[in-house]
Amino acid sequence: MSNNTTRPDWGKLFASLLTEPGKLGEHYRLFHRYSLGNQAMAVFEMTIRGIPIGPISSFNGWKRLGRRVKKGEKAIALWMPVVKKDAIRKDDGTDEEVTKRFFIMKNNWFALAQTEPIDPENPGTVPIPETPTWDRELALKNLGITEVPFTEVDGNRQGFARPDRAEIAINPLAAMPWKTTFHEMAHCLLHSKQADVAFVDGGHINRSIEEAEAEAVAFLCCATLGLPGLEEARGYVQDWLGSPAQAEEFAKKSVARVFAAADKILKAGSKAGEGVDHE
């Protein structure tokens, strides 16, 4: 094929996605998981102080991630649980130890925008690799998808999509921003209210299937373009599907949707301006 690049066998790749071992990346567990109340408080405080909304962590937490708090930055206040043990004298004259748990407000946290790399030569962000056949910005433009700032407090989230608005956001600290880009693009193509989100038997897609579909699209795109992340994608899909029975059902009902979305994404970013072929 003159201008087209031969693509790998997607049928075999899709089968391997469900059967070969995978792993869940450590990047899903790097940050503390804050309560919804604390997340709301952090967003409110960042907003009134004019700090760009983004992931938060403690002083030492950022240090472990290779970042430091900028000089002069004031910490964000959140509720922090405190456990205190007291001895209570019982009627028989003996002491009984009781544990009390309460919350206090502490100024211990900082937003990403309040930090900087400890080593300027190693900023801690992963660049998106360039590929000879596919252009990210071209794909976004051709698909009508807009990239917006990442405004999530939870740094474990790699990105998010607003399918009905055709918007995606990628965490500046995402471990594999290229894979996350494919994943969020897939949500926009497959899971908006305007998209056909019903299975062939009329059953509607639940959250686990949506996540598995989006990651399966990312898996095929990464495999086709020779990008890393296949083992992590397998782990993500298998974790969301949860059981061999649901994986089998997924293989039957979602394969055509996944292939179509991956093909559309690859064509949209094709530098050759022509179709994307796969065997």
Evaluate whether residue 143 is within a structural domain.
yes
Confidence at residue 92, expressed as pLDDT on a 0 to 100 scale: 75
Q: 54 - beta bridge partners? A: none
138 plus 106 within the same structural domain: no
End-to-end CA distance of the chain: 12
Q: 159 - beta bridge partners? A: 170
88 plus 211 within the same structural domain: no
How many domains does the chain contain in total?
2
Mean pLDDT of 32-59: 96
Tell me the C-alpha distance between 108 and 14, whole Å.
Answer: 45
Evaluate whether residue 274 is within a structural domain.
no
80 plus 150 within the same structural domain: no
Evaluate whether residue 125 is within a structural domain.
no
Q: Give per-residue pLDDT as tens, 178-187.
A: 999 999 999 9
Confidence at residue 272, expressed as pLDDT on a 0 to 100 scale: 79
| 31 in Cβ contact with 55 (< 8 Å) | yes
15 plus 141 within the same structural domain: yes
Mean pLDDT of 161-186: 97
Evaluate whether residue 234 is within a structural domain.
yes
Confidence at residue 198, expressed as pLDDT on a 0 to 100 scale: 46
Provide the residue range defining the domain that includes 76. Answer: 36-64+66-117
- Per-residue pLDDT for 111 more than 80? yes
194 plus 173 within the same structural domain: yes
Query: In degrees rounded to 5, what are phi and psi of residue 93?
Result: 90, -5
Tell me the C-alpha distance between 109 and 107, whole Å.
Answer: 6
Q: Give per-residue pLDDT as tens, 188-244.
A: 999 998 765 444 444 456 899 999 999 999 999 999 999 999 999 999 999 999 999
Rounding to the nearest 10 degrees, give the CA dihedral for residues 15, 19, 20, 21. Answer: 140
- Per-residue pLDDT for 132 more than 60? yes
Confidence at residue 106, expressed as pLDDT on a 0 to 100 scale: 93
| pTM: predicted TM-score of the whole model, two decimal places | 0.87
| 212 in Cβ contact with 237 (< 8 Å) | yes
Q: Give per-residue pLDDT as tens, 60-103.
A: 999 999 999 999 999 999 998 888 887 777 777 777 777 877 78
Confidence at residue 25, expressed as pLDDT on a 0 to 100 scale: 87
Helices H / strands E in the chain, number of each = 8, 8
170 plus 230 within the same structural domain: yes
- Per-residue pLDDT for 266 more than 70? yes
Evaluate whether residue 3 is within a structural domain.
no
Residue in 51, 104, 99, 103 with CA at minimum distance from that of residue 75: 51
Mean pLDDT of 47-58: 97
Q: Is 242 exposed, middle or buried (0-12, 13-18, 19+ CB in 10 A)?
A: exposed
Where is mean pLDDT largest: 1-5, 37-41, 203-207? 37-41
